[in-house]
């Protein structure tokens, strides 16, 4: 190589290194580390090379060119949040879901969500490419813990005659492509057993949207006995009888029962996580007016054309069963918390937006639903942070503010322990030591969701059921 190129390369490397090496120092305000229940005076935080170097102690170790952030006395630092059922999918035309990769990544970060598990991707290839662009610093976005395609009939073209070997091969394929966990939906017992076995072989987790056990489905109880890592939506157990669908049993279920006691004990014994996804059911139901409010004008993220289409739409139909389940779920999650399951609960939003109440903002709706269920706010914040990190196998690197962990944090305006709604509209967000301005992120994606004109709508038709068939 010529001297000139070598010199250029060296100076490029030096610049990259110094950019990366620029420390961040955060002083003032309050700190909720998620290692306990308390908010303390922020003892000072030094971030170096994407990790927490100091939390308290000698802050003078910070390099002279450090980026310094002074917090107001009203502000609180919390760890970056996790959404473990973070569909990027929108369903703008009622014709199927499509992964939204333009605005959602920025909107997640702007809402304080620094890690997402999509829990079943419509187009795993597009989502993998998005992860790579985010990781390379090409665009802002959370840590995208890819899930790959669904395993089960939720994947278009899923073959009910699939063999265990075909499932192994398919898991190997997606593991090689960097997914961080798998999601089963509409899966049969033998298929789930093979999925769990092979995912664990790769050190990856499995979660499932399951059923009662009717029609060759799997009751969460039986999945836990197979070794599944997490359960979505409902806890399952003997109260979900196999003679009817899970939702039919769930609608008016009560939890002061021996059946509930048994299933709660099983979760604790097996250390299985439960992703409650409360607000998803509220979204399909009557939209509890306490939870479904706008704190940002979310429709401004639609293109003007898309907004006009949505504003002209007839009012949607309320799903009364989901409305009933929403209120039932609030009792269930509190009962599980009271039964000692607090460390096992995770946060998941799980709803494809029809053009309102976008998923990244719904993280705050889920936090409020959990809080309104009667779970103390400190526990709600741990659910959104350290519990999510542990559930995905990242508990040693993420989820709390501790020396040596990756530096993901959110500065919120106020005390979320007193009012969980203070997590909304954070002042700033740090991911891997990089500081983001939520307002700037939001501005950058205004008018971006949906087609720009009627002529463009074909591009926003649902992905042609993009998930490839299981490999054979």
Residues that bind Zn ion (CB under 5 A): 350
Nearer to Zn ion, 22 or 183 (CB): 183
Residue nearest to Zn ion (CB): 350
Least gap, CB of 116 to Zn ion (angstroms): 13
Nearer to Zn ion, 85 or 434 (CB): 85
Least gap, CB of 207 to Zn ion (angstroms): 10
Classify each residue of 318-357 as buried b or exposed e, where b means 16 or more C-beta atoms within 10 Å of its C-beta: eeeebbbbbbbbbebbbbbbebebbbbbbbbbbbbbebbb
Nearer to Zn ion, 75 or 350 (CB): 350
Query: Cα–Cα distance between 143 and 433 in angstroms, integer?
Result: 13
Query: Cα–Cα distance between 137 and 157 in angstroms, integer?
Result: 35
Residue 83 is inside which H or E element, if any?
A: strand 81-83
Nearer to Zn ion, 78 or 384 (CB): 384
Least gap, CB of 130 to Zn ion (angstroms): 18
Least gap, CB of 161 to Zn ion (angstroms): 25
Is 230:346 a contact under the CB 8 Å cutoff? yes
Residue 331 tokens read as 């009792």
Query: Cα–Cα distance between 278 and 240 in angstroms, integer?
Result: 18
Is 161:191 a contact under the CB 8 Å cutoff? no
Cα dist from 65 to 20, 48, 62, 250, 330, whole Å: 12, 12, 8, 57, 49
Nearer to Zn ion, 97 or 405 (CB): 97
Nearer to Zn ion, 191 or 350 (CB): 350
Least gap, CB of 279 to Zn ion (angstroms): 12
Give strand pairing partners of 409.
79, 430
* Backbone torsions φ then ψ of 206, nearest 5 degrees: -130, 135
Least gap, CB of 138 to Zn ion (angstroms): 27
């Amino acid at each position: 190589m010529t001297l000139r190129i070598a010199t250029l390369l060296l100076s490029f490397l030096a610049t990259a290194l110094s950019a990366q090496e620029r420390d961040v120092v955060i002083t003032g305000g309050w700190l909720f580390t998620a290692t306990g229940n308390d908010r303390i005076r922020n003892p000072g935080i030094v971030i170096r090379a994407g990790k927490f170097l100091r939390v308290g102690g000698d802050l003078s170790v910070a390099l002279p060119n450090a980026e310094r952030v002074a917090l107001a006395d009203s502000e609180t630092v919390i760890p970056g949040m996790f959404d473990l059922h973070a569909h990027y999918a929108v369903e703008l035309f009622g014709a199927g879901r499509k992964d939204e990769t333009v605005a959602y990544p920025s909107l997640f970060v702007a809402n304080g969500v620094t890690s997402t598990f999509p829990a079943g991707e419509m187009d795993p290839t597009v989502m993998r490419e998005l992860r790579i662009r985010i990781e390379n610093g090409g665009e802002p976005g959370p840590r995208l813990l890819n899930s790959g395609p669904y395993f089960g009939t939720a994947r278009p073209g899923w073959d009910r005659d699939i063999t265990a070997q075909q499932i192994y091969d398919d898991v190997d394929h997606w593991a090689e492509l960097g997914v961080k966990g798998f999601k089963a939906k509409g899966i049969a017992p033998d298929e789930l057993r093979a999925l769990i076995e092979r995912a664990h072989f790769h050190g990856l987790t499995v979660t499932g949207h399951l059923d009662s056990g009717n029609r060759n489905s799997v009751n969460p109880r039986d999945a836990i006995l197979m070794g599944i890592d997490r359960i979505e939506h409902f806890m399952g157990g003997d109260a979900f009888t196999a003679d009817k669908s899970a939702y039919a049993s769930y609608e008016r279920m009560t939890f002061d029962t021996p059946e509930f006691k048994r299933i709660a004990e099983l979760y604790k014994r097996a250390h299985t996580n439960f992703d409650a996804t409360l607000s998803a059911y509220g979204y399909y139901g009557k939209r509890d007016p306490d939870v479904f409010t706008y704190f940002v004008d979310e429709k401004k993220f639609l293109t003007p054309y898309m907004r006009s289409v949505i504003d002209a739409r007839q009012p949607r139909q309320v799903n009364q069963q989901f409305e009933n389940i929403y209120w039932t779920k609030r009792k269930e999650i509190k009962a599980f918390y009271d039964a000692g399951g607090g460390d096992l609960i995770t946060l998941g939003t799980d709803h494809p937006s029809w053009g309102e109440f976008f998923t990244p903002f719904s993280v705050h709706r889920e936090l409020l639903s959990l809080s309104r269920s009667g779970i103390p706010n400190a526990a709600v914040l741990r659910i959104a942070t350290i519990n999510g990190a542990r559930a995905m196998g990242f508990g040693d690197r993420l989820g709390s503010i501790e020396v040596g962990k990756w530096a993901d944090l959110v500065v919120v305006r106020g005390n979320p322990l007193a009012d969980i709604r203070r997590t909304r509209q954070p002042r700033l967000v740090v991911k891997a030591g990089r500081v983001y301005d939520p307002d700037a992120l939001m501005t950058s994606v205004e008018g971006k969701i949906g087609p720009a004109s009627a002529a463009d709508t074909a591009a926003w038709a649902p992905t042609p059921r993009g998930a490839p068939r299981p490999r054979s």
